[in-house]
Amino acid sequence: MLNMFLTLLDTQEDKEKFTCLYDTYKNLMYWIAIKKTNCIEDAEECVQDTFFYAAKHFDRIGEVDSKRTKCYLSTIVSGFAINIYNKSINESTAEFNQEIENDSDGDTFNEFDSVEISVMIDKILCEQDKILLYLKYVYGYKSVEIADIYGVNDTYVRKRIQRAKKKLKDSLSQSNTDVI
């Protein structure tokens, strides 16, 4: 599988760096994916998709052993895993619904400390919303790029981010009034 990714890279230096990246993070990414999907095959697909994405966008990878690279890859694989998990849930829900039918014929976060925001993100947002926010505001991706990563519509990404921000804002405002 590694050779497939290496064909996407131009220089021998990039190929060696990618090989090091692959060896360093494949087990971590597999562990993350298996925890999210609960399926070996889906986890393998997530890891493969993540490495494919990393090879296509290799210029975004800094030092292999950096915390930023580790977080970046963990975020990407988590997003792929959540998408696959949600698709499997939607498919099983659709199958269940079909069986039933057949049987019955703007940002205002400046006033808050970053620690408060971080705690609230972990407390109230689902994993998918966290990933979208991290990709958008920590890694600087545009909504179009995030949509491209996960194979969804750009509008869907923007709406999810907008709802997550509103949920954060409301929760922060509520916690602020609870203190007073």
pLDDT of residue 24: 94
Residue 21 CB contacts under 8 Å (≥ 6 apart), including other chains: 54, 61, 64, 69, 73
pTM, rounded to two decimals:
0.58
pLDDT digits (tens, 9 = 90+) for 114-143: 666 777 777 888 888 888 888 887 777 888
- Could you give the CA distance from residue 136 to residue 22 in angstroms, rounded to a whole number? 25
- Could you give the CA distance from residue 122 to residue 89 in angstroms, rounded to a whole number? 23
pLDDT digits (tens, 9 = 90+) for 30-46: 999 998 888 888 899 99
Q: Which residue has the higher pLDDT, 70 or 123?
A: 70
User: Does the structure show a pLDDT above 90 at 179?
Assistant: no
pLDDT band at 28 (very low <50, low <70, confident <90, very high): very high
Range in 15-19, 93-97, 140-144 with the lowest mean pLDDT: 93-97
Largest CA distance in the chain: 63
Q: Where are the domains of the chain?
A: 11-105, 107-180
- Mean pLDDT of the 88-94 span: 59
Domain 11-105 top-level CATH class: mainly alpha
Residue 74, token pair as written in the block: 């963990």
- Mean pLDDT of the 22-27 span: 94
Burial readout 93-113 (b: 16 or more C-beta within 10 A, e: otherwise): eeeeeeeeeeeeeeeeeeebe
Residue 121, token pair as written in the block: 């993100």
pLDDT of residue 177: 61
CATH code for the part of the protein at 107-180: 1.10.10.10
User: Does the structure show a pLDDT above 70 at 93?
Assistant: no
Q: C-alpha angle with apex 169: 133 to 145, nearest 5 degrees?
A: 20
